[in-house]
Amino acid sequence: MKYLPLIWAALTRRKLRTFFTLLSVLAAFLLFGLLESVNSVFSEVGHTIGAAHRLITESKVGFMSPLPLSLKSQLVTVPGVEELAYDTYFGGTYQQPKNVLAAIAVSRNFFDLYPEMKLSPAARRRFDDTRTAVIVGATLARRYHWKVGDQIPIKALIYPRKNGSYAWTFDLVGIYHAHSAIEEQDFLFRWRYFDEAAAFGNNMVGWYVEKIAQPRQAGGIAGRIDALSANSDHETKTQTDSAFAANLISQYVNLGLIVHAIMGAVFFTLILLTGNTMAQAVRERIPELGILKTLGFSNRGVLGLVLTESVLLVVIGGAVGLLLAGGVVHVLQGQMGSQLPMEPVGGSIWLLGVAAMVLIGLVVGALPAQRGMRLRIVDALAGR
Amino acid sequence: MLRKTLLLLAMGAAAVLGVAAVVALPWIGIAAVAVLLAAWLAATRSGRRVISITASGMATLPQRLGGASVVVVGIAGVVGVLVSLLAMGQGYESNFRATGSDDRAIVLRSGALSESTSNLDQQSVMLIGEKPQVARSPHGRALVSPEVVVAASLPKKGTGADTNVMIRGVGPEVWGVRPRVRIIAGRRFHSGLQELIVGKDAAREFAHTAIGSKLDFNGHSWRVVGEFDSGNAHDSELWGDVNVVGAAFHRGSSVSSMTVRLTGPKAFSAFKAALAGDPQLKVQAHTTREYYASQSKGITHFIRILGMVVAGIMAIGAVAGALNSMYAAVSARTREIATLRAIGFRGGPVVVSVMIETMLLALAGGIVGALIAWLLFRHFTASTLGPSFSAVVFQFRITPRLMGEGLKWALAIGFLGGLFPALRAARMPVTEGLREL
């Protein structure tokens, strides 16, 4: 710690060069923070606490093909299934065709199976009692300025009412909260109402959700469920909620691959760039390092000084970059709200980022530090 | 103080103008500037001086490989990432764009956003086919294809991950409606049978799609009898008889959409008006060009913005790196430059020579980056879920225009990275410079 002023003096020796190096480190970690913020949204989906205790049963040909409601009575008898819910993707738009809602018709006990969606008991009671009730995510409600008690007219994407009209109206009875903005997007209304009022799609269910006591038994229970409808005209595929979500996302794009390829290119460039700066900095200071050694600094002491300098350089730039990324995500979320698939730059991103900073600092410092360590005092003082 | 501030302001303005010029200029403009520069270099005295200073500067390049490679690699990284991401967007877009044309219309239920959420009943299908703007086959049949789209899940080759694939039931006249579709192996499906033909991208991407293999959906067994090439987004799909597909997937007698070949591109507005004027129909028509462009617009736009933002942030880093390297290069040549000034060389040629050197390094970086992107991704195939919740397989498209855009970025970064060191070199006090060791 007592050498900090010395290291600081080395960094501020050429202010302009240090500034530009910091700027490029900053740019690299700004990008790192932003990309990881997007990436963590997708890698965390389906990893919520409740997900391990849930199985999803969909049609084997995909969740856009419905299953018969009659399966319900068979599913509840499967050993290991504690509770059963069922949903149908409905889909709608609000006011304009571009405002697409994730509208889903859900069975009454839906919220019992999704404990991570927090709902007040009063709202829950109103949902049970009101035929046309809808519960929406907090982020969605903020986006359209909806309040409890509002009547919300939506235009259905798929299902007309019995009179042929695609206009449906729901009564907003509650707002649920979840741990991230992307999970607060749903528009959930009573399946019973859908079943009574829709012109077609009645007695059909988009997918079933089973609550199980032991996540370890998931494979066996899923096998028993799928055996019920094997070789029928509505074969099912059952998997854990996490597997379901992971599969859906991997179909969109292999996001992790793209993010890691970009970060690979960025960090490779960064290592070369700061490495060059450090090499220059050490080369210029060879006589000074010789003086340090004359004063009694050991070889390892000099090694430590140079390594600390390079780590400090990367950590300062990187920390500012990550702070900036956090700020950018915050501002973007304020402006675009729910549509933005970004997580706040939190603990896990910082942890990963700081590890990368220290590692890069050590890598780029290694060669120059070694050079400083191996200096012979006579040569160094002569500037050779 | 005031002079210094004014100078800084002027330098900033010059930088902004320079970047704007490089990015906005069409290639012909950049080529013209290069030709003018070359003429000036060759024909005038100060031009020849620039050449000699640049040459002596370039001669020291091997001694500062570290600094030079920072400029080249930094810019190569920016250009590589930019070109790859833009190529992804371009590939996705052109896949959809090739699907549309002006003389084919797609009819959906009024208010439906896409085929997968649309449905038309038998009566609408009949009424639409009778409109006079619909082209007719030599046998006098209307060239219309009522179609059902459903998604079925197939494992991906390699990973085995279940993926939603679109199965399209097409009408008997589809070959006249979409004449570009060719069977490249096997044969067409027979109507009335549970037979499928598979698009060439789907055949490459998904398991169990070889000719002769059997596919089981909902207890119905289908046989793959042929492979087709449409040259567009339909290559990610499987096709079968509309009635058979509809029945097997519980669609009843209604269809999802109807694709219509018109008598000509000009017939579309009359066709649209005829549909709107028919009180028995609640449908909307788009040209297929319009429809597929709108279906791909969101994702294309998103990828483009993503590419710009990522490359923009990387460019900041690259500019900083280039500035560092060029400042170091200039300061290493302090004595040489001061000597040149002392024997009568003026500042201008010094500035120009440093700029030329940086821009050349930048251009090299840009070419390396674009080449790497081209080598890695020219045959790269990606798949994503399209607007109908089903797989869209597309190839990255690295066009000359995209590579040109990457090179422009490289030149702009080189311009910024070279300008300030060049000005410093020119403004260096001669006496101090000569004293420098």
- Return the pLDDT at B325: 86
**CB B157 within 8 Å of CB B205:** yes
Helices (H), A229-285: 241-252, 255-284
Most confident by average pLDDT, A84-88, A332-336, B23-27 = A84-88
The residue written with tokens 């549909």 in the block is B275
Hey, what amino acid is at B250? H
Task: Pull the structure tokens for residue A341.
Answer: 């698939």
With CA atoms as reference, report the closest residue to B86 among B377, B327, B351: B377
Chain A residues with CB under 8 Å of B113 CB are: 93, 97, 100, 157
- Residue closest to B238 by CA, chosen among B248, B246, B227: B227
How many C-beta atoms surround the C-beta of residue A361 within 10 A?
A: 25
Give, in order, the Cα–Cα distances in Å from B306 to each of A321, B87, B95, B312, B394: 18, 12, 19, 10, 18
Q: How many CB atoms lie within 10 A of CB B396?
A: 24
Least confident of A136-140, A224-228, A338-342, B306-310: A338-342
For helices B347-377 and B334-342, give the axis angle rounded to 10 degrees: 140
Q: Which residue has the higher pLDDT, B63 or A56?
A: A56
The closest alpha carbon to A141, from A340, A344, A343, A338, belongs to A338
* B380 touches A at CB < 8 Å: no
Model pLDDT, residue B370: 94
Confidence class for position A149, pLDDT limits 50, 70, 90: very high
Confidence band for A40, pLDDT divided at 50, 70 and 90 = confident
CB atoms within 10 A of CB B56: 14
Are A177 and A139 in contact by the 8 Å Cβ rule? The answer is no
Residue B11's Cβ-side half-sphere holds a number of Cα atoms within 13 Å equal to: 17
Phi then psi dihedrals of residue B191, to 5 deg: -70, 145
Q: Phi then psi for B228, rounded to 5 degrees?
A: -125, 160
Tokens for A217, please give them.
């038994």
Interface contact A251-B385, CB threshold 8 A:
yes
Q: What is the CA radius of gyration of chain B?
A: 31
Query: Where are the domains positioned within chain A?
Result: 4-45+254-381, 61-234
Is residue A184 predicted with pLDDT exceeding 90? no
Residue B191 to chain A, least CA–CA distance (Å): 21
- Given a cut of 70, is residue A335 above it in pLDDT? no
Query: By three-state DSSP, how is residue A272 classified?
Result: helix
Structure tokens of A181? Answer: 């903005």
Q: List, as ranges, residues 275-314 from A with C-beta within 8 Å of B.
A: 276-277, 279-280
Chain B CB contacts of A35 under 8 Å are: 310
- CA A100 to chain B, closest CA, distance in angstroms equals 10
Cβ of A155 and B111 within 8 Å? yes
Q: What is the ipTM of this complex?
A: 0.78
- pLDDT for the residue numbered B190: 93
All residues at 6 or more sequence positions from A13 whose CB lies less than 8 Å from its CB, including other chains: A281, A284, A285
Give how far Cα B65 sits from Cα of B59, B70, B319, Å. Answer: 11, 8, 18
Burial group, residue B28, by CB count within 10 angstroms (0-12, 13-18, 19+): exposed
What's the gap in Å between the CA of B228 and the closest CA on chain A? 23
Residues of B in Cβ contact (< 8 Å) with A251: 161, 163-164, 383-385, 391
Specify the pLDDT at position A336.
Answer: 62
Look at B77 and A265 and tell me if their CB atoms are within 8 Å.
Answer: yes
**Neighbour tally for A310: CB within 10 Å:** 27
Q: How far apart are CA B83 and CA B96, in angstroms?
A: 20
A262 contacts B81? CB cut-off 8 A:
yes
Nearest to B149 by CA among B346, B386, B334, B413: B386
Nearest to B324 among A17, A26, A27 (CB): A17
Which chain A residue lies closest to B251 (C-alpha atoms)?
A65
In chain A, the residue whose alpha carbon lies closest to the alpha carbon of B299 is: A252
H-state helical runs in B25-157? 27-43, 45-59, 65-97, 122-129
A203: left (phi over 0), alpha (psi -120 to 50) or beta: left
Task: Please list the helix, strand and coil fractions of chain A in percent, rounded to the nearest 5, in that order.
Answer: 55, 20, 25
> CB–CB of B310 and A35 under 8 A?
yes
Interface of A with B in 312-341 (CB under 8 A): none
Structural tokens at position A122: 């009063």
User: According to the model, what pLDDT value does residue B302 have?
Assistant: 81
**Dihedral angle of Cα B109, B115, B120, B125, to the nearest 10 degrees:** 110
Query: What type of residue sits at position B145?
Result: S
Q: What share of chain B is helix, strand, coil (3-state, %, to 5)?
A: 60, 20, 25
Tally of CB atoms within 10 A around B300: 20
Which residue of B117, B152, B324 is in closest CB contact with A91? B117
Among chain B residues, CA nearest to A164: B282
Q: Are B189 and B226 in contact (CB under 8 A)?
A: yes
**What is the distance between the alpha carbons of residues B20 and B416, in angstroms, rounded to a whole number?**
11
Whether the pLDDT of residue A372 is over 90: the answer is no
Supply A315's token pair: 């950590």
Residuewise pLDDT in 10s, chain B (437 residues): 667 777 767 767 777 777 777 777 777 788 888 888 888 888 888 788 888 888 887 888 887 787 888 889 889 999 999 999 899 888 888 888 888 889 999 999 988 888 888 889 899 999 999 999 999 988 889 999 999 998 888 888 877 778 888 999 999 999 999 999 999 999 999 999 999 999 999 999 898 899 999 988 877 889 999 999 998 889 999 999 999 998 888 887 889 999 999 998 899 999 999 999 999 888 999 999 999 888 888 788 888 888 888 888 888 888 888 888 888 888 888 888 888 888 888 888 888 888 888 899 999 999 999 999 999 888 888 878 777 778 888 888 898 888 998 999 999 999 888 888 888 888 878 887 787 65
| Closest C-alpha among B108, B190, B156, B384 to residue A157 | B108
Cα nearest neighbour of A275 on chain B: B66
Cα distances from A261 to residues B80, B394, B397, in angstroms, run 11, 19, 18
- pLDDT at A339 > cutoff 60: no
pLDDT computed for residue B332 by the predictor: 81
CA distances from B300 to B307, B387, B399, B403 (A): 11, 12, 16, 18
User: Could you identify the residue written with the tokens 């040549």?
Assistant: B333
pLDDT above 70 as % of chain B: 98
DSSP state of A12: T
Q: How far is CA B182 from the centre of its chain?
A: 26
Q: Please, are residues A234 and A208 in contact by the beta-carbon 8 Å criterion? A: no
Contact A61 B151 (CB under 8 A): yes
pLDDT at B47: 81
Q: What is the per-residue pLDDT across A90-134, written as a single tens digit (0 to 9) for each?
A: 989 999 888 888 899 999 999 998 888 899 999 999 999 999 999
* Per-residue pLDDT at A77 exceeds 60: yes
Query: What is the pLDDT averaged over residues A47-58?
Result: 76
Can you say how many angstroms the Cα of residue B340 is from the centroid of all Cα atoms in its chain?
48
pLDDT of residue A1: 63
Q: Answer whether A259 touches B (CB < 8 Å).
A: no
Higher-confidence position of B428 and A364: A364
Chain A environment of B152 (Cβ under 8 Å): 61-62, 65
Whether the per-residue pLDDT at A169 is higher than 60: the answer is yes
A87: which 2 tokens?
């949903």
Counting DSSP H helices and E strands in chain B, the numbers are: 14, 12
For residue A179, what are its two tokens? 């741990």
- B318 to chain A, any CB pair closer than 8 A? The answer is yes
Give the model's pLDDT for residue B260.
Answer: 94
Nearest to A238 by CA among A254, A224, A257, A255: A224
For the stretch A198-255, pLDDT in tens is: 988 888 899 999 998 888 888 888 889 988 888 888 888 898 887 777 777 777 666 5
β-pair type (B220-229, B195-199)? parallel
CA distance A295 to A320: 36
Shortest distance between the Cα of A93 and any Cα of chain B, in A, equals 10
Nearest to B152 among A30, A61, A91 (CB): A61
Residue A46 has pLDDT above 70, yes or no: no
Please provide the distance, in angstroms rounded to a whole number, between the alpha carbons at the two ends of chain A. Answer: 31
Query: Is B310–A31 a contact, with Cβ atoms under 8 angstroms apart?
Result: yes
A vs B: CB pairs below 8 A: 142
* Contact status of A17 with chain B (Cβ, < 8 Å): yes
Residue of A28, A262, A277 lying closest to B324 (CB–CB): A277
